[in-house]
Amino acid sequence: MTDLPAALLARLERLEIELPSWGFADTGTRFGKFLQDAAALSLEDKLDDAAEVHRVTGACPKLAVHVLWDVPEGGARALSEAAAARGLRIGSINPNVFEDQQYRFGSVVNEDPAIRRRAIDHLLDSVRLGAAVESDVLTLWFADGTNYPGQGDVIERKHRMQSALREVHDAMPASMRMLVEYKPFEPAFYHTDIADWGMAAAFARHAGSNARVLVDTGHHLPGQNIEHVVAFLADEGLLGGFHFNDFHYADDDLTSGSIDPYRLFRILLAIVEAEARRGGDLGLEFMVDQSHNLKPKIEAMIQTVTTVQELFAKALLVDLDALADARRRCNVVDAENRLRDAFATDVRDGLAAWRQARGLPGDPLTAHRDGGYAARASEDRRGRKPASGGSYA
């Protein structure tokens, strides 16, 4: 399909997808780290890589940062200036209350009040950093949970989480939103303190009016109807944004749409329907949360961004009036076919023409490969890798 509707293209123009700083660095599994010559070693490298993705897609002007990993010696000002020098801005602020050894038994729900206080103070520091770099999003994910029955009092822990989130929410500037993420398991395997979307919604309501739920598309058990969750949260006014990835068993951090593109299409359609009801954009945060061990980092990010654009375009092609008519008539086949027809539409030529009209490469991945960025990055960074490292090539 070459000629895409003007309203569809206008909505895509407003679609910004935030990239994760950690997605450009060397990563691995609990069994080991896999090194890539072109992987980022510094904040500057991460910003350069993000700028390359934005150069070829035109859709990624923001970089999410992890507070413990990404703040330079010069602090907030240096962080903002480094991003601006590359045509970017700092996106969501991600505190880290899971890496320190003292958080072995939890952070804000820990039995030790001194550890709880340290974790909360770090969250408050993150709020201040966000205000200083003009970020309006605080993204919270907690590894807190237990591994064995009887290990913790789940209600006491619930109350501690509520208290901590409320304190942090009350310290935020009025322009900032708190996004509460959930995860059914890992690293805790008996219970997780924010295990699903309902718990995240309850905690967000307790925290305050600027708290919302963050839906990570990989943080669900097999069989979860994610688009139902999205539609429900949107109707409740509690949907804040997304971490895009894909999964097969659970939380695989795979490239978006690589396993089940129809699932992501249905999730995006739930957004389209919610925006149609509202009569305008929902103001959601669209973010990537992926760390690729096998794919080249930048190529994987480009794949995800262009896939989200393609599937969002397909969702916008659904004839909502015809869908509503089929629903009123209880015609199940016609209703489903409205989705299937849109999903089967090939929008790639239309998106290529749209990109070119905006002065962007029609094929972002090819443009990145032809530009030689990865070879230059590999040559520069290979010499800065630790002696114990190695080439993946």
What tens digit of pLDDT does each residue of 170-229 get? Answer: 999 999 999 999 999 999 999 999 999 999 999 999 999 999 999 999 999 999 999 999
Whole-Å CA distances, 337 to 3, 277, 333, 374? 22, 21, 6, 42
Q: How many CB atoms lie within 10 A of CB 246?
A: 21
Per-residue pLDDT, 29? 74
Residue 252 has pLDDT above 90, yes or no: no
Residue 309 has pLDDT above 70, yes or no: yes
pLDDT-based confidence at residue 391 (cuts at 50, 70, 90): very low
What's the rounded Cα separation, in Å, for the pair 320 and 314?
12
Check: pTM over 0.75? Answer yes or no: yes
Q: Considering Cα of 293, then 34, then 39, then 95, what sign does the dihedral take?
A: positive
223: left (phi over 0), alpha (psi -120 to 50) or beta: left
Give me the mean pLDDT over the 124-152 stretch: 97
The model's pLDDT over 27-44, given as tens digits with 9 standing for 90+, comes to 877 777 888 999 999 999
> Backbone phi, then psi, for 177, in 5-degree steps?
-115, 140
The model's pLDDT over 312-339, given as tens digits with 9 standing for 90+, comes to 999 999 999 999 999 999 999 999 999 9
Domain-embedded: residue 56: yes
What's the rounded Cα separation, in Å, for the pair 130 and 94?
9
The model's pLDDT over 370-379, given as tens digits with 9 standing for 90+, comes to 999 999 999 9
Domain-embedded: residue 227: yes
Contacts of 271 (CB under 8 A, 6+ apart): 230, 234, 282, 284, 315
Per-residue pLDDT, 393? 37
Measured between its terminal Cα atoms, the distance across the chain in Å is 38
Per-residue pLDDT, 306? 98
Domain-embedded: residue 53: yes
CB 281 within 8 A of CB 330: no
Q: Which is more confident, 68 or 189?
A: 189
Residue 388 has pLDDT above 50, yes or no: no
Find the CATH number of the domain harbouring 51. Answer: 3.20.20.150
What's the rounded Cα separation, in Å, for the pair 85 and 300?
24
Residue 290 has pLDDT above 80, yes or no: yes
Per-residue pLDDT, 392? 38
Domain-embedded: residue 252: yes
CB 83 within 8 A of CB 90: yes
Average predicted confidence (pLDDT) for the chain = 95
Per-residue pLDDT, 387? 57
| Torsion, CA 301, CA 305, CA 306, CA 311, rounded to 10 | 130
What's the rounded Cα separation, in Å, for the pair 139 and 213?
10
Give me the mean pLDDT over the 275-301 stretch: 96
**Structural domain that includes position 272:** 15-318
Per-residue pLDDT, 323? 98
Residue 160 has pLDDT above 70, yes or no: yes
- In the chain, the number of structural domains is 1
Domain-embedded: residue 223: yes
Per-residue pLDDT, 53? 98
